[in-house]
Structure 1
Amino acid sequence: MNDYIERYIYDVTKRLDEKQREDISKELEANIYDMLGEDQSTENIKTVLTTLGSPAKMAMNYKEPRYLISPELFDDYKHVLVIVVAVFVGISFAIGIIEAVTATGIAILEGVFETLFGSVISAGFNGFAVTTLIFAGIELYRKKVNPPFRVESLPKIPKVESKKNLRVEMIIESVFAVIFGYIFIHVLLTNYVNINAIWDEVTWIYTGSVLNAWVANLFVPWFIAYLVLTVIIKVFQFKEGGFTKVLGIFYTALELTSLVIMSIVFTRMNTFNPLFVQSVSTAFNIDFAYHLDLAVKGIISMVWIITTIELIVTWYKIYHPKKGLPKQKN
């Protein structure tokens, strides 16, 4: 064997696993001599080896690609990453606003910059890290299990005209749901006010809780689960290109269950702290319990109406999707 060829093959195979070297050495040698043909001069050997490229590059052709996240999962990874980072940043932003507003002993602007800037950046990195670790775990599982391709696993054609618009819609809905959800949970967990108000020469002073403790203990865990499930449904909704019947069923069940729980919790007579109710009634000489009951029932009724309309629209879109595939750009 020519010295150049022998050295080239050695430089390639030394970069590979030992169990591969012998077979690849024979294969590479045969390919080189096929390319040389009848002309096995030194000049032609140099030309052929130069054409093949560097040994390091050639060795890559015999190696199985190594990915933290493979190209097969990378598009899904990007889409989920955008949503997760947006949600993390939204939560951090809401926390920062609350901390800045409620901070004592520091200037408001200083509190805003200190809590928002650092926490938002940190949240973005945390969202990136969590998503990357999850998809890296999925990639590792896929390599070990290596599931066979099934025709049934092919995705359905999106029912929306623009998946980009759907992604923006999903991100906005998820971020707002998490931000307002966090604020609502924070209010329930804090459940403490310090009020000193004057209204028509009536001074009202109240310090203490607004709701009884059992409300937060019962409602907060469910509401956290509701937010998590909502974001998961949004992710699958984007992946499917819209609501499918299965997603529609899960979404409808989740919304109705949350409404039922909310209705039961906030229409109970012992939901609000009786000291708070009595304090308002005494200060303003009104039957505050009666008016509060009407207000809560009115708000809940409005939420039921809005949610029902939203569910009807959702199911209409499921059974009457827009016809036609997305237009292809020339």
Structure 2
Amino acid sequence: MELVKRYIYAVTHKLPEAQRADIEKELHGLIEDMLEERIQGGEPTEKDVEEVLLELGHPRKLADQYRGYKQYLISPALFPTYVSILKVVLFAIGIAMTAVFGIETFMDPANVLDHFVGNLFSFINACFQGFTWVTVVFGFIDYAGVRKEKLGIKEDASWKPSELPPLPDSRTRISRADPIASIIFTILFTVLFTFSIGLLGIWRFPSEGSSIVVPFFNEEVFRTFLPFIWALLAGSVLLDCAKFIFGRWTTKLIAADIVIHLLHFVLALAMFSDASIWNPDFLAQLADSGLAPIGSEAYELASSIWNRATESLLSLIGIVVAVQVIASVVKGYKIKDVC
């Protein structure tokens, strides 16, 4: 019956992946046995099913029994998802800081110890901030009532099987890999913009001496936009956490997704329309590096591309955002069809 499937899904969907199939099979058998004992060979009614499920108890409590321990740091309903997201965030921070250390060491191998110590402190600080922000995000989601109204069932003694959330439709389901990948890339970009913006540029590796980087951006001006970048990236992570928690597209999630994409374009427009964000000495530094001497064909090509950098970059960002918005609108129509 549909109610039995919903109950089993509510118990198993946040348990470890390796346990779900066995527990689902066990619950099916247990519920069938309890119904058989109750009806003694007759046909079970919906009331019989509800009474059996009430006897089994709240899905969250039953899941705790299978899990073997109770969880109360954030909330019993959200804690497993909180831990999963926290692991993803810390893993992404580790990858990002390792990449920064590798690049800095490659660029300047003579000061590898300084790079290691500096990145170690940055890693500890980033992990602390990551832990803090993930906890704040999940605390906010729990405080906003998402757990009770959208994700789970009432946790008091008045719980009823009819309050079980519906099974997600395959057309609206969000793969867990999508928000996880998005969170990882968002954190990588955050670390890059925060610690290594000076490494974005043209690299040259001379036969002797340290490597040379001709940066694209005026770092001093770029850093004035960092609070807006952090705020928008934090909004992106918050949205990805919501996707991970819900596990399915809703009209509100789609609307938020479209708003985040549009805000990305607005921020890009504000940033790159300011000509001072670009390195004012880029062409001169490029010529001094020997990669494109003044008067050479390479210099003329670089100058032509550089003069169109803002227009080209904004056009590219606009196309990407337009594709993402269209994809979100299509998801909205799918949800409409399902409903």
TM-score of the aligned structures, taking structure 1 as reference length: 0.55
Q: Structure 1 residue 316: deviation in Å?
A: 0.9
Q: Structure 1 residue 292: deviation in Å?
A: 1.0
Q: 3-state DSSP class of the match of 1:242? A: coil
Q: Is 1:304 the equivalent of 2:300?
A: no
Amino acid at match of 1:187: S
Match of residue 170, structure 1, among 176, 179, 189: 179
Distance 1:290-1:270 versus aligned 2 partners, 3 A rule: farther
Match of residue 291, structure 1, among 305, 321, 331: 305
Structure with larger Rg: 1
Instruction: Give CA deviations for 1:62-114 in whole Å, capped at 9, x if unaligned.
Output: xxxx966189x434221132122211221122112212331344779xx88x9
Q: State whether residues 89 and 183 of structure 2, in contact with CA within 8 Å, keep that contact through their aligned partners in structure 1.
A: yes
Q: CA RMSD in A?
A: 4.9
Runs of at least 5 residues in structure 2 that lack an aligned partner in the other structure: 1-68, 146-153
What is the match of residue 238 of structure 2? 232
Match of residue 241, structure 1, among 221, 232, 247: 247
Q: State whether residues 137 and 238 of structure 2, in contact with CA within 8 Å, keep that contact through their aligned partners in structure 1.
A: no
Q: Provide the rounded CA distance (Å) in 2 between the counterparts of 1:211 and 1:126.
A: 26
Q: Provide the rounded CA distance (Å) in 2 between the counterparts of 1:275 and 1:137.
A: 45
Q: Structure 1 residue 284: deviation in Å?
A: 3.6
Q: Provide the rounded CA distance (Å) in 1 between the counterparts of 2:167 and 2:135.
A: 27
Q: Is 1:185 the equivalent of 2:194?
A: yes
Count of aligned residue pairs for this structure pair: 243
Q: Provide the rounded CA distance (Å) in 2 between the counterparts of 1:324 and 1:193.
A: 47
Q: Provide the rounded CA distance (Å) in 2 between the counterparts of 1:91 and 1:220.
A: 18
What is the match of residue 78 of structure 1? 80
Q: Provide the rounded CA distance (Å) in 2 between the counterparts of 1:300 and 1:130.
A: 30
Q: Structure 1 residue 158: deviation in Å?
A: 2.9
Q: 3-state DSSP class of the match of 2:229? A: helix
Q: What are the within-5 Å matches in structure 2 for residues 9-24 of structure 1?
A: none
Instruction: Give CA deviations for 1:214-251 in whole Å, capped at 9, x if unaligned.
Output: 53233221111111111111121233333322222222
Amino acid at match of 1:272: W
Q: Provide the rounded CA distance (Å) in 1 between the counterparts of 2:261 and 2:97.
A: 25
What is the match of residue 158 of structure 1? 168
Q: What are the within-5 Å matches in structure 2 for residues 116-131 of structure 1?
A: 123=127
What is the match of residue 280 of structure 1? 286
Q: Is 1:91 the equivalent of 2:93?
A: yes
Distance 1:234-1:157 versus aligned 2 partners, 3 A rule: farther
What is the match of residue 45 of structure 2? none
Q: State whether residues 160 and 241 of structure 1, in contact with CA within 8 Å, keep that contact through their aligned partners in structure 2.
A: no
TM-score of the aligned structures, taking structure 2 as reference length: 0.54
Q: State whether residues 199 and 213 of structure 2, in contact with CA within 8 Å, keep that contact through their aligned partners in structure 1.
A: no
Q: 3-state DSSP class of the match of 1:74? A: coil
Q: Provide the rounded CA distance (Å) in 2 between the counterparts of 1:241 and 1:294.
A: 42
What is the match of residue 255 of structure 1? 261
Runs of at least 5 residues in structure 1 that lack an aligned partner in the other structure: 1-65, 199-204, 326-330
Q: Provide the rounded CA distance (Å) in 1 between the counterparts of 2:256 and 2:142.
A: 27
Identity among equivalent positions (%) equals: 18
Q: Provide the rounded CA distance (Å) in 2 between the counterparts of 1:315 and 1:140.
A: 29
What is the match of residue 101 of structure 1? 103
